[in-house]
Amino acid sequence: MIRIEPRESPSRAFAVGIPVLSAVISLAFAAIPLLAAGANPLVAYGEMIKGVFGSVFAVSEMLTRATPLIFTGLAAALAFRAKLWNIGAEGQLYLGAMAAVGIGSGFLDISGLLLLPLIIFLGAAAGAVGMMAPTYLKVRFGADEVVTTLLLNFIILIFLQMMLEGPLQDPMGLGWPQSAPVLDQGMLPPLMDRMRVHSGLILALVLAAIAQFMLARSVWGFKLRAVGENTAAARHAGINVRRSLFVVAAISGALAGLAGVSEVAGLKGYLTSDLSPGFGYTGIVVAMLAGLSPVGVVIAALFIASVFVGADSMSRAMGVSSFLADLVVSMSLLCVLVGGFLARYRILRTRAAKA
Amino acid sequence: MMDLLNILLSDSFWAASLRIATPLIFGVLGALICERAGVLNLGIEGIFVVGAMCGWMAVWLGAGLWGGVLFAALAGAFFGLLHAILTVPLGLSQHVSGLGITLFATSVSYYTYRTALPNVSSPPRIEPFQALDIPVLSDLPFLGPVLFQQTALTWLALLMVGLVWYVMNRTALGVAIKAVGDNPDSVDAQGLSVYGLRMGAIVAGSALMALGGAFLTMSAFDAFFFGMVNGRGWVCIALVIFASWRPGKALLGALLFGAFDALQVRLQTEMGALVPGQVFLMAPYILSIIALVIAARSADYPRALLTPWFKGQR
Interface test with B, best of A1, A35, A147 (most B CBs within 10 A): A147
B114 with A154: Cβ contact below 8 A: no
3-state SS, residue B95: helix
B115 with A148: Cβ contact below 8 A: no
A165 with B108: Cβ contact below 8 A: no
Query: What distance, in Å, lies between the first and last C-alpha atoms of chain A?
Result: 14
Chain B residues close to A284, C-beta within 8 Å: 96, 99
Chain B residues close to A37, C-beta within 8 Å: 115
Name the residue facing B92 among A4, A281, A341 (closest C-beta).
Answer: A341
Q: How far is A139 from chain B (nearest CA, A)?
A: 11
Q: How far apart are CA B260 and CA B254, in angstroms?
A: 10
Q: How far is A281 from chain B (nearest CA, A)?
A: 9
Torsion of CA B130, B135, B138, B143, to 10 degrees: -140
The one-letter amino acid at B1: M
Polymer length of chain A: 355
B103 with A281: Cβ contact below 8 A: yes
In sequence order, the 6+-apart residues with CB closer than 8 A to the CB of A191 are A197, A198, A199, A201, A202
Q: How far is A127 from chain B (nearest CA, A)?
A: 19
Q: How high is the mean pLDDT in each 10-residue block of chain A (355 residues)?
A: 69 81 92 93 94 94 97 97 95 97 80 87 97 96 93 95 90 86 90 92 98 93 90 89 95 98 95 94 95 95 96 92 94 91 76 50
CATH of domain A2-349: 1.10.3470
Name the residue facing B238 among A151, A330, A334 (closest C-beta).
Answer: A151
Q: Quick one: pLDDT at residue B264?
A: 86
3-state SS, residue B194: helix
Q: Would you give per-residue pLDDT tens digits along chain B (314 residues)?
A: 557 777 777 888 999 999 999 999 999 999 999 999 999 999 999 999 999 999 999 999 999 999 999 999 999 999 999 999 999 999 999 999 999 999 999 999 999 999 998 877 788 999 999 888 777 777 777 777 777 778 999 999 999 999 999 999 999 999 999 999 999 999 999 999 999 999 999 999 999 999 999 999 999 999 999 999 999 999 999 999 999 999 999 999 999 999 988 988 888 877 767 788 888 889 889 988 998 999 888 888 999 998 899 887 65
Torsion of CA A89, B80, B205, A138, to 10 degrees: -20
**Beta-carbon contacts below 8 Å between A and B:** 131
Name the residue facing B107 among A87, A143, A323 (closest C-beta).
Answer: A323
In sequence order, the 6+-apart residues with CB closer than 8 A to the CB of A1 are A349, A350, A351, A352
Q: How far apart are CA A347 and CA B9, in angstroms?
A: 63
Name the residue facing A142 among B230, B289, B297 (closest C-beta).
Answer: B297
Q: Quick one: pLDDT at residue A8?
A: 67
A323 with B97: Cβ contact below 8 A: no
What chain A residue is nearest to B90 in terms of C-alpha separation?
Answer: A341
Instruction: Write the pLDDT tens digit of every residue in B72-113.
Output: 999 999 999 999 999 999 999 999 999 999 999 999 999 999
Q: What is the 3 state secondary structure string of chain A?
A: CEEEEECCCCCHHHHHHHHHHHHHHHHHHCHHHHHHCCCCHHHHHHHHHHHHHCCHHHHHHHHHHHHHHHHHHHHHHHHHHCCCCCCCHHHHHHHHHHHHHHHHCCCCCCCHHHHHHHHHHHHHHHHHHHHHHHHHHHHHHCCCHHHHHHHHHHHHHHHHHHHHCCCCECCCCCCCCCECCCCHHHCCCECCCCCCCECHHHHHHHHHHHHHHHHHHCHHHHHHHHHHHCHHHHHHCCCCHHHHHHHHHHHHHHHHHHHHHHHHHHHHCCCCCCCCCCHHHHHHHHHHHCCCCHHHHHHHHHHHHHHHHHHHHHHHHHCCCCHHHHHHHHHHHHHHHHHHHHHHEEEEECCCCCC
B107 with A329: Cβ contact below 8 A: yes
Q: Domain extents for chain A?
A: 2-349
Name the residue facing A162 among B230, B241, B276 (closest C-beta).
Answer: B276
The answer to whether A17 and A343 are in contact (CB under 8 A) is no
Q: Find how far residue B251's CA is from the centre of its chain.
A: 11
Chain B residues close to A330, C-beta within 8 Å: 100, 103-104, 106-107
A329 with B86: Cβ contact below 8 A: no
Q: How far apart are CA B206 and CA B101, in angstroms?
A: 11
Contacts 24+ apart (CB under 8 A), B167-173: B168/B36, B168/B247
Q: Quick one: pLDDT at residue B140?
A: 79
In sequence order, the 6+-apart residues with CB closer than 8 A to the CB of A328 are A26, A27, A29, A30, A307, A311
Q: How far apart are CA A176 and CA A189, in angstroms?
A: 27
Q: How far is A269 from chain B (nearest CA, A)?
A: 25
3-state SS, residue B222: coil
ipTM associated with this complex: 0.92
Backbone angles phi, psi at A226, to 5 degrees: -65, -45
The answer to whether B107 and B245 are in contact (CB under 8 A) is no
Q: How far apart are CA A20 and CA A235, in angstroms?
A: 36
A165 with B276: Cβ contact below 8 A: yes
The answer to whether A254 and A124 are in contact (CB under 8 A) is yes
A161 with B299: Cβ contact below 8 A: no
Q: Quick one: pLDDT at residue B136?
A: 75
B231 with A154: Cβ contact below 8 A: yes
Interface test with B, best of A1, A80, A150 (most B CBs within 10 A): A150
What chain A residue is nearest to B93 in terms of C-alpha separation?
Answer: A337
Q: Find how far residue A18's CA is from the centre of its chain.
A: 20
In order of B127, B133, B154, B222, the CA distances from B130 in angstroms are 8, 9, 11, 11
A159 with B237: Cβ contact below 8 A: no
Name the residue facing B100 among A37, A150, A337 (closest C-beta).
Answer: A337
Q: Quick one: pLDDT at residue A355?
A: 41
Q: How far is A154 from chain B (nearest CA, A)?
A: 7
Options 1.25.10, 3.90.1150, 1.10.3470, 3.40.1130; which CATH number does B12-117+148-296 get?
1.10.3470
Q: Domain extents for chain B?
A: 12-117+148-296
B91 with A341: Cβ contact below 8 A: yes
